[in-house]
Amino acid sequence: MTTAVMIGATGLVGSKLLEQLLADARFTKVVSFGRRPSGQKHEKLEEHVIDFDRPEAWASLVKGDVAFSALGTTIKQAGSKEVQKKIDLDYQLEFAKAAAKNGVSAYSLCSAASADPRSSRFYSRIKGELDRDVQALGFQRVRIMRPSLLGGDRGDRARTGEKLGSVLLGAFNAIGLAKRYREIPGSVVARAMLNAAMEPTPGVHIFELDEVFSAAGVS
């Protein structure tokens, strides 16, 4: 009888993660929190449309056995660094704090390959700060995925820069270069998040790109 709680269910990784959680017989309930509905329907799914700026209204509902965070945005989508920081750091940290306070034992986070709290790059720094702060919340198990360029269908939210990057990385990988940053499908990251969260070894494990593929069972 396992309950999963998650944020980010409308994104590239999160939508795949939600599908996988709903299809997984180990989970009897999946509770999703988001700014808008996921669009998915299932008897196991409970959705809460929330205002992330008002955690006092939803924090008490973040209860379950395993928590997943696949929330994220880009500076282009956010419109400013201030808004991007809210989504990529503040909102996720509030969710993690609520989960820890309510006794959730395991936390699985989709981060980024460049995450580093000491970085001079804004995006890398806030990702690294989130990784660091989640580890300090006292979860029995913390699993942090650090994928590179994400591949998959983004629908009308496709990013021109990422499309170009995917083509270039594919070309470099074909001749054995840039393997460390090769594209990874969102569905593979989702599977790695799920598998790693259910692995019972206590403590923190940070999965770099090759380990994300391995955790998902992909060579």
Instruction: Note if 127 is an active site residue.
Output: yes
- What DSSP string runs through 106-151? EEEEE--TT--TT-SSHHHHHHHHHHHHHHTT--SEEEEE---SEE
Choosing from 29, 127, 179, 181, which is the catalytic residue? 127
- What are the structure tokens assigned to 132, written together? 């660091």
Question: How do strand 66-69 and strand 106-110 relate by DSSP bridges?
Answer: parallel
In this structure, are residues 145 and 189 in contact, taking their beta carbons and an 8 Å threshold? yes
- For residue 45, the surrounding DSSP H or E stretch is strand 45-49
Q: In terms of residues, how long is the chain?
A: 219
Choosing from 123, 163, 179, 181, which is the catalytic residue? 123
Sign, Cα dihedral of 36, 12, 129, 202: positive
Q: Which are the catalytic amino acids?
A: 123, 127
